[in-house]
């Protein structure tokens, strides 16, 4: 069954710009509001599809995967997702940074550092997983 928040996200995606939705999701991620971030990324992706912004969809998906890893929601899949995030970052030229104001930066700058770029207070459990541990998983 679809929740009211999911419906609200879809409605907002219909009327708001993808970039605004994406940045709202990044703010939620930065603040550790994982469910809001997940809904926000989905809304941004819906809007980006309407806007035919393929590269923006790819950037939003990478951020969405990062949020899933950092939230600790899917611990059994974190290692695989970390590898996939790094693979996708290698394919992008630019991506929004993980800190406000979420400026576009070279995707290579996030490669290998994205887990340490997020404040520890926003990571599930209050600590960031060392990248070496994520790669080993």
Q: What is the pTM of this model?
A: 0.79
Whole-number mean pLDDT of the chain?
Answer: 83
pLDDT in tens, 21-70: 999 999 999 999 999 999 999 999 999 999 999 999 999 999 999 999 99
Residues near 40 by beta carbon (within 8 Å), at least 6 away in sequence: 9, 21, 22, 24, 25, 26, 28
Higher pLDDT, 11 or 48: 48
Q: What is the pLDDT of residue 116?
A: 76
pLDDT value at residue 7: 56
- Burial string for 94-109 (b: 16+ CB within 10 Å, else e) reads ebbbbeeebeeeebee
The structure tokens listed for 106 are: 């070279």
């Amino acid at each position: 069954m679809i929740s009211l928040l999911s419906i609200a996200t879809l409605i907002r995606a219909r009327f708001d710009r993808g970039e605004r939705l994406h940045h709202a999701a990044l703010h939620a991620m930065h603040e550790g509001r994982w469910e809001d971030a997940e809904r926000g990324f989905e809304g941004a992706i819906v809007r980006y599809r309407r806007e035919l912004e393929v590269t923006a969809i790819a950037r939003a998906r990478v951020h969405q995967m990062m949020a899933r890893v950092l939230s600790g929601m899917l611990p059994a899949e974190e290692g695989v997702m970390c590898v996939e995030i790094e693979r996708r970052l290698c394919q992008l030229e630019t991506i929004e940074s993980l800190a406000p104001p979420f400026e576009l930066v070279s995707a290579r700058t996030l490669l290998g550092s994205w887990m340490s770029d997020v404040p520890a207070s926003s990571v599930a459990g209050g600590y960031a997983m060392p990248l070496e541990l994520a790669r080993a998983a």
